[in-house]
């Protein structure tokens, strides 16, 4: 099993959720986050003074997927969340040691 974390542009969330649903992803965890990458945010002016918004708002989605599905999940997120502009985000993949459904105690792929 793989655990996939993707940081994407907030307005892309609905599209990504639908695309992942259509390839068989049953659930995900979403959080509103802030961060920066190579761009280091941007500079704005407020009441005549310059300030840098070095933490830009992003959405972090977390998906646990079976080994067969993992590559497809990454590809789907990459295709869907892409605007070809800077700040589109990143996708990280981890090995997932175990998964347990709390209600039934099921483990492994069936718990996903």
Partner 1 sequence: MKRTLSRSAAPALAALALAGVGMTAPALAQDVADPAALAAAEAVSGGTAYILNTLLFLIGGFLVMWMAAGFAMLEAGLVRSKNVSVQCLKNIGLYSIAGLMFWVIGYSIAYPGFEGGFFGIGDFPYAMQGVGEADTETGYSIASDWFFQMVFCATTASIVSGAVAERVKLVPFFIFVTVLTGFIYPVIVSWEWGAGWLDAMGFSDFAGSTLVHSTGGWAALMGVLIIGPRLGRYGKDGKVAVFPGSSIPLATLGTFILWLGWFGFNGASQLAMGTIGDVSDVSKIFVNTNMAAAAGVVVAIIATQLRYKKADTTMALNGALAGLVAITAEPLTPNVGMAIVIGGIGGLLPVIFVPILDRFKIDDVVGAIPVHLVAGIWGTLAVPLTNPAVPFLAQLTGVVATGVFVCALSAIVWFALKATIGVRPSEEEELAGLDLSETGIEAYPEFARTSGS
Binding site for partner 1 (CB under 8 A): 44-51
Q: How far is the CB of 44 from partner 1 (least distance, A)?
A: 8
Please say which residue, 44 or 75, places its beta carbon nearer to partner 1: 44
Q: How far is the CB of 53 from partner 1 (least distance, A)?
A: 9
Please say which residue, 48 or 105, places its beta carbon nearer to partner 1: 48
Please say which residue, 50 or 95, places its beta carbon nearer to partner 1: 50
Q: How far is the CB of 32 from partner 1 (least distance, A)?
A: 12
Compute how many other C-beta atoms are within 10 angstroms of the C-beta atom of residue 59. 19
Rounded Cα–Cα distance for residues 40 and 83 (Å): 19
**Could you identify the residue written with the tokens 């969340």?**
81
Question: Would you say 71 and 25 are in contact if contact means Cβ atoms under 8 Å apart?
Answer: no
Question: Would you say 21 and 112 are in contact if contact means Cβ atoms under 8 Å apart?
Answer: no
């Amino acid at each position: 099993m793989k655990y996939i974390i993707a940081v994407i542009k907030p307005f892309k969330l609905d599209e990504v959720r639908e695309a992942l649903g259509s390839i068989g992803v049953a659930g995900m965890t979403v959080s509103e986050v802030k961060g920066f990458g190579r761009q280091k945010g941007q500079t704005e002016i407020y009441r005549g003074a310059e300030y840098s918004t070095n933490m830009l708002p992003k959405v972090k989605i977390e998906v646990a997927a079976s080994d067969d599905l993992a590559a497809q999940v990454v590809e789907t997120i990459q295709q869907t969340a892409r605007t070809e502009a800077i700040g589109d985000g990143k996708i990280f993949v981890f090995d997932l040691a175990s998964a347990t459904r709390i209600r039934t105690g099921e483990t492994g792929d069936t718990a996903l």
